[in-house]
Amino acid sequence: MTCCSYGNGWMRVKDWGKTALTLYDKHELEGIRLFVDLEEIKKYPLIEQWLMRIGNINKEEVAKEIMRAGRDILSWQRVRVAPYERMKKARLALCSSCGEMHPATDGDICIRCSGKDNYYE
Ligand SMILES: [Zn+2]
């Protein structure tokens, strides 16, 4: 819907462990932040238990309750995003170890082959 993606550099994920989404004008940096309203969520105990990771919850039942709740469980606030450097597309190179493409700025071998990140065992 927003044409924002990792590929074009207009989508960023800040993994703060929160349930929120910020949409803003990329030039003015003004926008809104949507978040789950914990007061409103109390009207929907199944959703609250799921969000707070309390007990063993049936996800299909939670999904139905979320659909019933709709926007009622969300709040929003106006925000201004701090200026930031947009991620630029890096030139790609072949990794001399695994042969897969990776950002050339990482050197001759990719992050995985270099052992700098151990995502896989
Ligand atoms: Zn590699």
78 and 118 in a common domain: no
- Successive 10-residue mean pLDDT values, the chain, 121 residues: 79 88 92 95 94 90 96 96 80 94 92 86 78
Dump pLDDT digits (tens) for 21-48: 999 998 999 999 999 999 999 999 999 9
Q: How far is the CA of 101 from the centre of ligand 1 (A)?
A: 8
42 and 2 in a common domain: yes
Q: How far is the CA of 6 from the centre of ligand 1 (A)?
A: 21
pTM: 0.70
95 and 53 in a common domain: no
10 and 46 in a common domain: yes
Q: How far is the CA of 7 from the centre of ligand 1 (A)?
A: 20
> Into how many domains does the chain fold?
2
Q: Which structural domain, as residue segments, surrounds residue 98?
A: 91-121
99 and 51 in a common domain: no
111 and 74 in a common domain: no
Q: How far is the CA of 120 from the centre of ligand 1 (A)?
A: 13
Strand 20-24: give its sheet, edge to edge.
20-24, 30-36, 74-80
97 and 71 in a common domain: no
What CATH code is carried by the domain that includes residue 42? Answer: 3.30.1330.130
Q: How far is the CA of 116 from the centre of ligand 1 (A)?
A: 11
What CATH code is carried by the domain that includes residue 111? Answer: 3.30.60.80
Q: How far is the CA of 100 from the centre of ligand 1 (A)?
A: 6
pLDDT value, residue 90: 78
pLDDT value, residue 9: 76
pLDDT value, residue 12: 87
